[in-house]
Structure 1
Amino acid sequence: MKHLFVPLLLLLGLHASAQQSPAKLTIELRYLLALPEGYDADTSRRWPLLIFLHGSGERGMDLEKVKMHGPPKLVEAGKKYPLIVVSPQSDQGGWDPGMLHKLLLDLKKNHRVDADRVYLTGLSMGGFGSWEFASRYPNELAALAPICGGGQPETAWKMRYVPVWCFHGAKDNVVQLSASARMIDALKPYQPGVKFTVYPEAGHDSWTETYNNDSLYTWLLAQRRHRFRQVDVDAGKLGKLAGRYVRSGSNDTVVVTAIANGLQLSAGQHRESVKAASETLFFWDENAPVDMIFNKEGFLLRAWEQEQYRKVK
């Protein structure tokens, strides 16, 4: 595996190790970068990306600490991953989703990253950070693998198109099993196939067994970022959805009219068109999980907040 020094416009290089190259995004975020074998051989090929978020014990200003657990530890021991592995370091009491997003954008700009195969994983503090990032930027991820972490169950619906495999130790006395269980329970109505592995005898360290299991990486690499696909829908069926709708709890009105294989939404002088993914599901953009679902009462608009609209005419 070849590891490269990372010269970026806003990156300051550090002394490169024999195994992984340190770099940092401005002075706020440092990370280890490991490029897969064959990265330089075919300059037209794009590679999947795995971002690993460490736990609280690896916080600070010393990147060597990040190699204590997980993928960076395994890379240092000689494991060869068929993907780009990036392991940032936080010097705070948690992870900043906005800064991680800036890192991801830099990586996609400066390396041959397959944007449809970006995977995020983390342990403990990094497990919490993984859930939070996925709730903020779900359209960036192809899959999520949080370990002994937790999040805000009310945000689970935002991850409805992000495949999740969660791990936790049943005897964890640092982060209770219920922290992961609440997230999984909240996600199941939107994603019945969500995966949840509980190690009956494991304590807080549920990550060693997880990262040593190649089935995790096989599963990750099989996932692709969700993209809506436009389909042909009978004009008569689209016409039945046309009408005037009012948002629950307000007087906001949206007028829906049928167009070719989609709908047009009008609110005052503002107009937007949406494409049909089915006879009842419509979307704005192939890459963003913002959709509207019609039912007998009206439609549910799923954006950053869920909004229910009732048909009145």
Structure 2
Amino acid sequence: MKALLPLLLALTLGATSLKAQQTAEKFVLETKYLLALPEGYGKDTSQRWPLVIFLHGAGETGLDLNKVKMHGPPKLVEAGKNFPFILVSPQTASFGWQPDVLYQLLQSLKKQYRVDNDRIYLTGLSMGGFGTWALGMKHPEEFAAIAPICGGGDTANIWRLRYTPVWCFHGAKDEVVPLTSSQKMVNALKQYNSNVQFTIYPEAAHDSWTATYDDPAFYTWLLAQRKHRFQPVKVDAKTLAGYNGRYTNRKNDTLTITSNGTSLDVKAPGHTLQLKAASPTVFYWEASAPIDVEFTKTGFVLRAEEREVFRKIK
């Protein structure tokens, strides 16, 4: 009997493997959110609208969605404010925002509502400020601008926001989230991005959001931003030909660049990418996130990773 059991198990597994099929499925974490549609949303079904995602703070965490109405844009809507954009205010049931969950929510919103994909904005306060930085850095390709309020985060991937307009806010007397939390993020980002504003309220403590969300100038700035898109330009053949050659980085990865008359072809083992010109020295290839290279006298800088340098092999 002992010898028969392994044999039966093997036969059973073998028979199962012959018949087994796999299908693609997905697990979706339920996320509740408040929705406010702009006036006129239902009239012209061809019109696309800006989308603002608001992330609440730690005090509004839980399962009671009404708590999200305590601060920020949802509070203003509850008081009768009509915004000229779709406002979505999700609620997290546990402490901290999960960028992957928010990203899936955003993809669902874009399918369900008439969203202008070039005008998607992200903002949040306190814990939501941290969430705004985190989601913005993980998926900069989604947002036309972000506005974190009294938040902070890890600066390791701050470079990914190099093309995203950012307006950051903080109270100078904040004892819950120190002012330095925002200062660290802003200072790091300014190395890569000149389109960064930082407003410090000299007398404000942790509540630096009421003044921000009550200010019409904030919404004027937000809605004026558009998602970054490279605009192709024509570069003369001589300039393009000057980039021909072999390049290597400190890991000894080798790439070959050749001009095809209107753009550049980059060849790596098993791959060929086409680089289009955004300027005589900055080139890009089409991807979901902005990926670009900048040529220098000695080689080029790849910005798919944080300033990875390739030198030209003579």
What TM-score comes out, normalization by structure 1 length?
0.89
* 1:147-186 pair list within 5 angstroms: 147-186=149-188
Measured after TM superposition, the shift of residue 285 of structure 1 is 1.4
Counterpart for residue 304 of structure 2: 303
Q: Tell which deviates more after alignment, 192-201 or 163-172.
A: 192-201
What is the aligned length? Answer: 288
> 1:182 corresponds to which letter in structure 2?
K
* 1:98-137 pair list within 5 angstroms: 98-137=100-139
SS at match of 1:128: helix
Counterpart for residue 197 of structure 1: 199
* Partner Cα separation in structure 2 for residue 121 and residue 311 of structure 1: 42
* Partner Cα separation in structure 2 for residue 99 and residue 253 of structure 1: 37
Structure 1's consecutive aligned runs of 4 or more residues displaced over 6 angstroms after TM superposition are: none
**Unaligned 5+ runs, structure 2:** 1-26
SS at match of 2:131: helix
Measured after TM superposition, the shift of residue 306 of structure 1 is 3.7
Are residues 227 and 286 of structure 1, via their aligned partners in 2, closer, same or farther at CA, if it must alter by over 3 Å?
farther
* 1:65-84 pair list within 5 angstroms: 65-84=67-86
Provide, for residues 238-277 of structure 1, a one-character-per-residue CA deviation record: whole Å limited to 9, x for no partner.
11111100012x1210001112332111112321111110
Counterpart for residue 290 of structure 1: 291
* Partner Cα separation in structure 2 for residue 196 and residue 133 of structure 1: 19
* Partner Cα separation in structure 2 for residue 260 and residue 73 of structure 1: 56
* Partner Cα separation in structure 2 for residue 310 and residue 252 of structure 1: 11
Counterpart for residue 245 of structure 2: 243
SS at match of 2:32: strand
> Is the 1:229–1:286 contact (alpha carbons within 8 Å) kept by the matching residues of 2?
no
SS at match of 1:118: strand
SS at match of 2:286: coil
Q: Tell which deviates more after alignment, 291-300 or 230-239.
A: 291-300
Are residues 181 and 93 of structure 1, via their aligned partners in 2, closer, same or farther at CA, if it must alter by over 3 Å?
same
> Is the 2:150–2:206 contact (alpha carbons within 8 Å) kept by the matching residues of 1?
yes
* Partner Cα separation in structure 2 for residue 286 and residue 114 of structure 1: 19
Provide, for residues 181-209 of structure 1, a one-character-per-residue CA deviation record: whole Å limited to 9, x for no partner.
01111111222231000000000000011
Measured after TM superposition, the shift of residue 298 of structure 1 is 1.0
SS at match of 1:172: coil
SS at match of 2:267: strand
* 1:217-296 pair list within 5 angstroms: 217-248=219-250, 250-285=251-286, 288-296=289-297
Provide, for residues 44-78 of structure 1, a one-character-per-residue CA deviation record: whole Å limited to 9, x for no partner.
00000000000000001110000000000100100
* Partner Cα separation in structure 2 for residue 212 and residue 231 of structure 1: 41
> 1:76 corresponds to which letter in structure 2?
E
**Unaligned 5+ runs, structure 1:** 1-24
* Partner Cα separation in structure 2 for residue 275 and residue 286 of structure 1: 12
Q: Give me the CA root mean square deviation.
A: 1.3
Counterpart for residue 51 of structure 1: 53
* Partner Cα separation in structure 2 for residue 229 and residue 75 of structure 1: 37
* Partner Cα separation in structure 1 for residue 137 and residue 155 of structure 2: 10
* Partner Cα separation in structure 2 for residue 131 and residue 297 of structure 1: 34
> Is the 1:144–1:164 contact (alpha carbons within 8 Å) kept by the matching residues of 2?
yes
SS at match of 1:266: strand
Counterpart for residue 22 of structure 1: none
Provide, for residues 21-63 of structure 1, a one-character-per-residue CA deviation record: whole Å limited to 9, x for no partner.
xxxx955311111100000010000000000000000001110
Q: Tell which deviates more after alignment, 146-155 or 165-174.
A: 146-155
Provide, for residues 111-159 of structure 1, a one-character-per-residue CA deviation record: whole Å limited to 9, x for no partner.
1000000000000000000000011000100000000000122222100
